[in-house]
Structure 1
């Protein structure tokens, strides 16, 4: 009898200990280390909320600046359980979740409010669910902002100005196709190689949000910044589904809520930061110009969107076209 009671007590104690065991999270991104950058504002807020709300049961270690690899390597690490979480840009995500290519389509969003309404609505939720098929839990969307062209040859005011320029893009099929349709020569390349490629003339230009243009000091090797806003640049907080399933429900809830709240904090920080970045880039001597967008938008509608209807519709081109139409019709 005593042996049975003792055994039951020890088993109960063991279960309780496992339930309250410390959880260590490696959270990786390939952005910069500037604490004022909105991406770091977001992940730092996530770390603080998770550790405080779990009473120290969850520990978050942030690995910035590509310490655990570029965006694709981070996603693969999350899939394999080598990295618990990532804050990753959308560029490589279409290789894992075809529907994620929706967000890479040029000029798919009119402005930042339109982007948020879509991402936070039914279509955004549908794409999030598709991540589970790739062994990834998508927790929240945050902002990278809209992307703009820079180069060291001439201002880009129209599509004709892009002709003949070698422009680096992320490793995204949609982005490569888009730049080629716009008349440039698209060169997919990892972010870590970009500065040297610009410096050595391997590429003439690139496209990124203003905060990254500034933080990576591209103004040292690029003269012109053209406000094209051709791509929107979402990031996402992701977690490995296999790892996620080992967490108890309380810890899952803490992490899920913190990811959503950190995303909101990051979005707000970026809105303010973009204003500062334009002033900073002008101060560094970059020539900034507006862009005539009508021809770009027409090329996107006629040459890019139809070629992705089938893949975005999971084999059904009519569904893909409907998805795009619903995005564009969202207020």
Structure 2
């Protein structure tokens, strides 16, 4: 009888622990097959394990909790806890984060990661906290290229009048206005329908996003413009974050870093391998005249250098590894 009582007591204690485990929501907008989707699942496993089962993580992918702007609003309001979000949406809250997308700022992904993991990332976190968000780290959203429904765009002249979808990011809008296109922001989740209905002639994204969302099936002409870089800031609602003990906070930071390392490498590998894969699937690729594109977008640098002179200069210096 004693053994049975102890066993029942132990089982009851375990069930009580499970019942009181805090359930948190990690939301993002990526579809299955995207490195962000995989990394979010990894984050959930790492965080739950590190916190000793005190937190149960529900991952809400594919914009099921709203678009990126809505997810950021939900995080600040405590509706969700964590989001792997977008640079464009975050720039509406922390304008300086948009500077990471200055045209042709980073020559490769490792350079961008080094900058984000240093003082620049810390500064952006400080600004985000002022707006009710805690930056846990920066995952990757790749170097971006242009896809079109019917042609390649190797020179800026080829973009003239092109109706192109952009994220809700003023930097991207400015870049394509300087190139003579007609840009308009739209939530990523609405993009395939908008392309199919003819609202846009094309769009711009890293290859991994284009492929995982099957946008290349609608816009099978891709020009490797490499016009800008975008990060994937992983953010927590500050009200939730502030209520965590130090050990749990470290679990969240470690999970972000570890899952992020794999996510970054997956984006890098996909960037190297997807051209051949997509060519087999019917995509036509073209190289862009980078010198012409850089010259055409110089006015964008001038605009932001006037507004944020010190930060733009610091970013250019850091991007050059100086």
- Structures share fold, TM-score greater than 0.5: yes
The correspondence for 1:106, drawn from 90, 95, 103, is 103
The correspondence for 2:184, drawn from 184, 187, 197, is 187
Shift of 1:21: 5.2
Q: 2:321 maps to what in 1?
A: 330
Gaps of 5+ in 2: 1-15
Q: 1:33 maps to what in 2?
A: 32
Q: Does 1:217 align with 2:214?
A: yes
Q: 1:177 maps to what in 2?
A: 174
Does the 8 A contact of 1:151 with 1:223 survive in 2? yes
Q: 1:139 maps to what in 2?
A: 136
Does the 8 A contact of 1:26 with 1:84 survive in 2? yes
Shift of 1:172: 0.6
Does the 8 A contact of 1:22 with 1:58 survive in 2? yes
Shift of 1:280: 2.4
Shift of 1:328: 3.6
Q: 2:289 maps to what in 1?
A: 292
The correspondence for 2:49, drawn from 41, 47, 52, is 52
The correspondence for 2:265, drawn from 263, 268, 281, is 268
- Give the Cα separation in 2 of the matches to 1:309 and 1:272: 33
Shift of 1:212: 1.5
Tell me the matched-pair count: 306
- Give the Cα separation in 1 of the matches to 2:304 and 2:77: 29
Could you report, residue by residue, the CA deviation over 1:16-38 in whole angstroms, capped at 9, with x for unpaired residues?
A: x99x952221000011023xx21
The alignment's TM-score, normalised by the length of structure 1, stands at: 0.88
The equivalences for 1:72-91 within 5 A come to 72-91=69-88
Shift of 1:166: 0.8
- Give the Cα separation in 2 of the matches to 1:240 and 1:38: 23
Does the 8 A contact of 1:26 with 1:61 survive in 2? yes
- Give the Cα separation in 1 of the matches to 2:63 and 2:203: 19
Does the 8 A contact of 1:169 with 1:176 survive in 2? yes
1:305 aligned counterpart, secondary structure: helix
1:234 aligned counterpart, secondary structure: strand
2:88 aligned counterpart, secondary structure: coil
Q: 1:4 maps to what in 2?
A: none
- Give the Cα separation in 2 of the matches to 1:225 and 1:277: 12
Q: 2:3 maps to what in 1?
A: none
Could you report, residue by residue, the CA deviation over 1:66-101 in whole angstroms, capped at 9, with x for unpaired residues?
A: 000001101111111111000001111111001111
Shift of 1:322: 2.6
Gaps of 5+ in 1: 1-16
Could you report, residue by residue, the CA deviation over 1:138-197 in whole angstroms, capped at 9, with x for unpaired residues?
A: 011111111110002321111111112111100111111110101111111111221111
Structure 1 segments of 4 or more deviating over 3 A? none
- Give the Cα separation in 2 of the matches to 1:171 and 1:206: 13
The correspondence for 1:307, drawn from 292, 300, 303, is 303
Q: Does 1:165 align with 2:162?
A: yes
Shift of 1:104: 2.0
User: Against the structure 1 CA distance between its residues 281 and 29, is the aligned structure 2 distance closer, same or farther, given a 3 Å change threshold?
Assistant: same
1:207 aligned counterpart, secondary structure: strand
Q: 1:22 maps to what in 2?
A: 21
